[in-house]
Amino acid sequence: MLQVKNISFSYNKTPVLKDISFTVKPGEHLSIIGESGSGKSTLLKVLYGQYDIEKGNIFWKDEEILGPKHNLVIGYNFMKYVAQEFDLMPFISVEENIGKFLSRFYPEEKQKRVAELMKVVELTKVAKTKVKLLSGGQKQRVALARALAKQPEIILLDEPFSHIDNFKKQSLRRSVFKYLKENNIACIVATHDKEDVLGHADKMIVLNNHKIAVNASPENLYLNPKTPLVASFFGEFNVIDDQIIYAHQLQVVEQSDLEVIVKQSYFKGNCYLVEADWNGETLFFEHPSAVIENEKILLKIAL
């Protein structure tokens, strides 16, 4: 189990993390969300031992994770970290990059392992291609596979699918997270993408003002968003009578005290997101079809 106990970290005397505590069990998937600059990436680097913390402790099982003041070489064998910069070897192939740190004494096992991981990250077709010729998304997948090559006990992922195009992102996300679960690898993901969280994460941490604002399951936070920050991560929302209401929770009706004037309709595929004026405030609701501009609409909250 990963145990993070009251850790604090400052960068050039500027506080970044304050009194952060949480746990992650083997095989568990934790997502870290927050606005840009909230400390998501910094927290991953602290967990990896890249920075020295000012106070607190970090343990994986019985081993304490320490920073560069204590370790000549950063990192631990049981943990892998995939940053937004991939640090690959450009002049060798995809399969050579993935297998670079696997033992050469067991060539058959090595080849089988590399083939397995290329399938997980959907790169089998470019196995022989030099990394320098790959797209940014393909390089990100090579970095993921290489981090998994030596079967870590815990993996830290910083925006792991940010460079992947939408044609591949959904299937790749399912493949990687399924692999981690099946192999009991703990996973901590820093992300701004709700699709990395919903359907995959066991727990979700929201960072705000250098601290953990919320720590709960994604389902709980989606169904009961306590703050606009949490609601905004999941989608368009409104605050009506001090209550957070998602756009999809508003329905057009024939009788209601909630009257709005339509400003614009945005096609979203399965529905239209309608922007409206409500007593001088902007309000959003979803509707099966576009609504005429300046039309008066009556809405009700359908929780």
Q: Which pLDDT band, with edges at 50, 70 and 90, does 104 fall under?
A: confident
Cβ contacts of 208 within 8 Å, gap of 6 or more: 34, 35, 38, 229
CATH number belonging to domain 2-223: 3.40.50.300
- pLDDT tens, 167-204? 888 999 999 999 999 999 999 999 999 999 999 999 99
Phi, psi of 236 (to 5 degrees): -65, 140
Q: What is the mean pLDDT of residues 257-266?
A: 96
Domain ranges for the chain: 2-223, 236-301
**Residue position matching structure tokens 């929302």:** 237
Helices (H), 2-81: 40-48
DSSP three-state, residue 143: helix
- Predicted local distance difference test score (pLDDT) of residue 150: 86
Q: Is residue 287 over pLDDT 90?
A: yes
**Residue position matching structure tokens 């940053």:** 83
Q: CB count, 10 Å around CB of 92?
A: 14
- Predicted local distance difference test score (pLDDT) of residue 75: 87
Q: Is residue 81 over pLDDT 80?
A: yes
Per CATH, the architecture of 236-301 is what?
Beta Barrel (2.40)
Percent of the chain whose pLDDT exceeds 90: 81
Q: What is the mean pLDDT of residues 252-274?
A: 95
Cβ contacts of 192 within 8 Å, gap of 6 or more: 33, 36, 159
- pLDDT tens, 50-74? 999 999 999 999 999 999 998 888 8
Interstrand relation of 55-60 and 2-11 (parallel, antiparallel or unpaired): antiparallel
- Predicted local distance difference test score (pLDDT) of residue 240: 93
pTM beyond cutoff 0.75: yes
